[in-house]
Amino acid sequence: MSRDTPGASLRAALARQGQGAQLLAAACPSRAVLSHLTSRWAVLVLVLLLSGTRRFSELRREVGGVSEKMLAQTLEALAGDGFVLRQAYLVIPPKVEYSLTPLGHEAAERLAVLVDWIEDNYPRIEQARAELAPQNAQNAA
């Protein structure tokens, strides 16, 4: 059975040639990037930054539920991987802005598709959860 997923044929060709990241391999260093990029807060931050540059306080306010510490760690990881640009200004009070790099913009656009899919299909997801809840409870017992 073949799966027609975006980039699947390219990944398969690279795998045959021994090139590219091998995310399924336990020692693959790109797993850290995958973890940073798909973390709960990173997805929301990246999609939010698609609409423009934000200050830390704006991000904290707009990304409901994120703590200051988690937001700082998320932004640090995303900046370290080259997805987010941190611009500090030498003013009082201190001013720091975050924006997407070209790489970050590309990644955020792809994540936005996933976010849109989740929002569009959330009723179906809830229905599936409700239908499977009795079965899952029985299997856990």
Number of domains in the chain: 1
User: Is residue 64 in a domain?
Assistant: yes
How many other C-beta atoms can be found within 10 angstroms of the C-beta atom of residue 107?
23
Instruction: Supply the pTM of this predicted model.
Output: 0.78
Tens of pLDDT along the chain (141 residues) come to 444 555 666 566 556 655 555 777 888 888 889 899 999 999 999 999 999 999 999 999 999 999 999 999 999 999 999 999 999 999 998 899 999 999 999 999 999 999 999 999 999 999 999 998 887 777 776
User: Is residue 93 in a domain?
Assistant: yes
Q: Which CATH number belongs to the domain containing residue 53 in this structure?
A: 1.10.10.10
Domain assignment of residue 127, given as a range: 22-140
User: Is residue 123 in a domain?
Assistant: yes
User: Is residue 5 in a domain?
Assistant: no
